Amino acid sequence: MEIQLAEHAGFCFGVERAVNTVYEKLKTGRPIYTYGPIVHNEEVVRELEERGVKVIADEEALKKAVPEKDAIIVVRAHGIPERIYLELEEKGFEVVDATCPFVKKIHKTVRDRSEDGDEILIAGDPDHPEIAGICGWSEGRNTVLKDVSDFERFVPEEGKRYTLVFQTTFNHKKYQEIIEILQKKGYNVNVVNTICNATDERQRSAEALAAKADAMIVIGSSTSSNTGKLYEICRSKCEKTYYVHTPDELNMEEIKSANLVGITAGASTPQKLIEEVQNNVRGTYF
């Protein structure tokens, strides 16, 4: 059996930056909070909580929060609506912004284009915190379209100008399909490709590996949007694709007959989890 890791897998720049920011702030000895889980990986969040980091889950929890003196709150990698920054400061937190720079660029695009009168279209998961954050930077109306079928049904209002942005982890193939739909229908939409390079590289390398693998393992949290998309892509190329969060979730019997086992991991998956899965597979067969 051969075990091969995708060329691009695991922590991306934005996630690593956010996690490192929390660890740096822990060195101050001051009370540290994050607004929402800093990244979508339960193991990372658990380790931070063991070091004393507290999570304010959402706006409802924020209303009830009574921060200690000198408390620092680190804004999660997914970003937050503009109004939340003001609420955090009113609560007495020192705010440290660890929003992924690629997400911050979307916030600026949405703010600038909506101030100029455009209605904002956002391609992505409406239940994802990144999308909630993006919506919170629009000065006017915005519409979230989750999938290709939503764009097939979308009909713009006559006389309105639109700007379309994408969740940073959006599927690159679906992006191409959406562009084709807009061109076919002749809609006048200003398209801004805001899918980050790391996402594109991770998806392409996972797809290439899954196309030749007998079994594929995708590592990441069930709450991670980008990991879910990796699973979809790999599953379309390799029937025996398995989505696991920790090594314990992998049933080795299911892949024992594979000649080539491919492994990839979402952007919020730490290196040690990837290594644990690799070592478990190696330990079973070698």
Known catalytic residues?
130
Distance CA 46, CA 195 (A): 29
Contact call for residues 204 and 210 (beta carbons, < 8 A)? no
* Structural contact between residues 22 and 50, judged by C-beta atoms closer than 8 angstroms: no
Q: 157: which 2 tokens? A: 């209002």
Task: Read off the amino acid at residue 196.
Answer: C
Buried b (16+ CB within 10 A) or exposed e, 131-140: bbbbbbbbbe
Token readout for 29 is: 């000895």
The CA distance from 42 to 152, in Å, is 36
> What DSSP string describes 181-220?
HHHHHT--EEE-----HHHHHHHHHHHHHHHH-SEEEEES
